[in-house]
Amino acid sequence: MKNRLEEIRKQQGITQEELASVLEVSRQTIGSLENGRYNPSILLAFKIARYFGMKIEDIFIYEEDQ
């Protein structure tokens, strides 16, 4: 799975720390998502999408197979 999180966050002009704080997760979680170290839970994906006023599919890009 890829995502456009860093791109979208920077468009909004906010830092990883600010986004983390709004979403009530740690800064490392945001950094790890942006750098592809792991995928978000579906709850966090919903929170992120809702915060940016987008659909999950607009931010997270599912790629076939594993």
Partner DNA sequence: CTTTGATGGAAAGTATGCTTGACATTTTTG
Partner DNA sequence: CAAAAATGTCAAGCATACTTTCCATCAAAG
Task: Look at the alpha carbons of 38, 55, 24, 11 in this order and tell me if their dihedral is positive or negative.
Answer: positive
How is residue 3 written in tokens? Answer: 């995502």
Does 24 interact with DNA (rule: CB under 7 A)? yes
Residue 61's φ and ψ, nearest 5 degrees, are -110, 110
Q: How far is the CB of 13 from a copy of itself (least distance, A)?
A: 26
In the list DNA, a copy of itself, none, the entry touching 46 (Cβ below 5 to 8 angstroms by class) is a copy of itself
Q: How far is the CB of 38 from DNA (least distance, A)?
A: 3
Does 25 interact with DNA (rule: CB under 7 A)? yes
The total number of residues shown for the chain amounts to: 66
